[in-house]
Amino acid sequence: MPVATGERIHDRIEFRELFESQAVDIIQPDVGHIGGIWETRKLAATAETHYMLVAPHNVGGPVLTAASLQVGFTSPNFKILEHFNDFADAEIKKVVKGAPQVNPEDGCFHLSDAPGLGVELDVDAAAEFPQQQARFDLWAEGWEQRKPKGTQ
């Protein structure tokens, strides 16, 4: 059974023990915690030399999804991208224009042809929705079936 880890490792150097011991099959760096796209790409390249896949940890919203997709689209050892944006509050759609969406026809993200990450943050709209505390009980029965507010 493949083993994956790394979403709580916040420094590329901390992954060294995993590489040296071949302790995992898939690393899960978080682009928002590890130091951005470039640092994550270096980590993915190192993982490739150890025959490991990379599956970025991603629960930070559409901008982090767009950044994580850049890593994925440029890494030959990319496995899959964790994606929770479907469960985000509806207000987030007002704050980020061009947010990556899963294509319902093939279940995949597609590379944006827009400049940069392909998203545009509306700072004024963001000010209307201050950060709120979110909590998921990952041990509660049916937690994975949660749905965005306002849906059935």
Total tally of structural domains belonging to the chain = 1
pLDDT score for 89 = 65
Residue 78, domain member (yes or no): yes
Its pTM surpasses 0.85? no
For the CA atoms of 130, 131, 133, 135, the dihedral, rounded to the nearest 10 degrees, stands at: 120
Residue 139, domain member (yes or no): no
- Tell me: the pLDDT tens digits for 54-100? 999 998 888 899 999 999 999 999 999 988 766 666 777 778 899 89
Residue 150, domain member (yes or no): no
> Is there a contact between 56 and 28 (Cβ–Cβ < 8 Å)?
yes
Residue 145, domain member (yes or no): no
146 vs 127, higher pLDDT = 127
Any idea what the CATH number is for the domain that residue 119 is in?
Answer: 3.20.20.120
Give all strands (DSSP E) within 13-59, no chain letters: 26-27, 53-54
Residue 56, domain member (yes or no): yes
